[in-house]
Copies of this chain bind each other. A is one copy, B any other.
């Protein structure tokens, strides 16, 4: 039987109490106005708050000390019952999450003096945090002093997912998988990127979830963060779909598939696709506790370089090509990132979660975009997302820099491959890695079958 929410939260704060000997106050956050104050973006509670409070409360805070949780939230007003319906009273919420005590927000002020905190993203809340603590607490300012100690302690906990987290993460993965299957089933009937996106996101909405990030659904996969959906779908296009679901309590899925809009990969598309897939598979096979994630990245680079040499696109020894960052002309981003309550887990703390203490971002073109540089441990969930892209800006500058290492004439034959990425969510375990998203096929043939259905 799975742990109850109450017991799960209790264990998390007890673990926290073994790492810090001062109190922590975590704010839930507030809504962000869109075009006027009453028209807000869909509310998203702070991930650190969700980790310890379990529910997406708004305009609330929790005080954690020595394994005890105190909840601070105001009672719903009579007016709020009219507009938003009867909502849970303070004591009811406190009971749901196993709080040891519960108070109005106004009583939080007395708890401030010796506590640590973490800046929340919305301005209303970080303004409140800054005023109460009487020092600048802003999302852009890296934490200092006990705030930094708190951040490091939370990173330590959230890095290794517990049973309660994994139950939610598997739900997010399952719905993300279903969304991608719906996209593949719909694509041959769709006239625009927007129509494929609609088929995918409607699955997420129907499960009462949200997207964990703004979807990328594009025939221009070479634009890495393309958030436009207006392009018509042409015969022969590849469509790159990077779409993930988030559960109501904030846990994220993150999947990318690239599929032929007309149902069949061309031979050149299939050749490159299989190179990217080989990198994907090799990385996942190599994921074990004790392995460096940076080495998983380099393994992807190596497999991609080998594949591109075999296809005659690169010229030279794969190892040397990787050392010269030639692979990065086609694979300019990192092999992946942490995944949890955030799609780039804990990236609100900068590289505090992604980079082990004492490590910094590389200055190398082929490594600088790596978002995760840690030794893998059982319980860590990461994405594995190798890719191949023909980015005009990069190719232009590579033309002189790597004139003889790239066979430019041969490359022209692969003009129908603008961007390919294959991304799964992979849990490190003591045995083989567990692909949470494995119900969604990766093999080119299997994808063609899903489109044909």
Contacts and interface: CB of A to CB of B under 8 A. Distances in A.
A394 B86 CA distance: 12
Contact of A348 (B37, B40, B197, B392): B37
Contact of A38 (B226, B341, B347): B347
Contacts of A139: 33, 37
A348 B36 contact: yes
A37 B214 CA distance: 13
A206 interface: yes
A140 B198 contact: no
Nearest to A205: B198
Nearest to A203: B198
A393 interface: yes
B82 A224 contact: yes
22 contacts: A34-B121, A35-B44, A35-B47, A35-B250, A35-B348, A36-B344, A37-B139, A37-B348, A38-B344, A81-B391, A82-B391, A82-B394, A83-B224, A84-B223, A85-B223, A86-B392, A192-B208, A194-B207, A198-B203, A198-B206, A201-B202, A202-B205
A46 interface: yes
A135 to B, nearest CB: 18
A199 interface: yes
A424 interface: no
Contact of A213 (B39, B78, B198, B225): B39
Interface in A131-145: 139-140
A199 to B, nearest CB: 7
A195 interface: yes
Contact of A35 (B203, B341, B392): B341
B194 A343 contact: no
Contacts of A401: none
Contacts of A38: 344, 347
Q: How many copies does the complex hold?
A: 2
A92 to B, nearest CB: 16
Interface string A26-67: 000000111111111110101100000000000000000000
A111 B201 CA distance: 44
A84 B223 CA distance: 6
B347 A36 contact: yes
Interface string A171-193: 00000000000000000000010
B393 A82 contact: yes
Interface string A219-234: 0101111110110000
A332 interface: yes
A123 interface: yes
A123 B130 CA distance: 15
A39 B342 contact: yes
Contacts of A36: 47, 121, 342, 344, 346-348
A149 interface: no
Nearest to A45: B35
A40 B227 CA distance: 12
A96 to B, nearest CB: 16
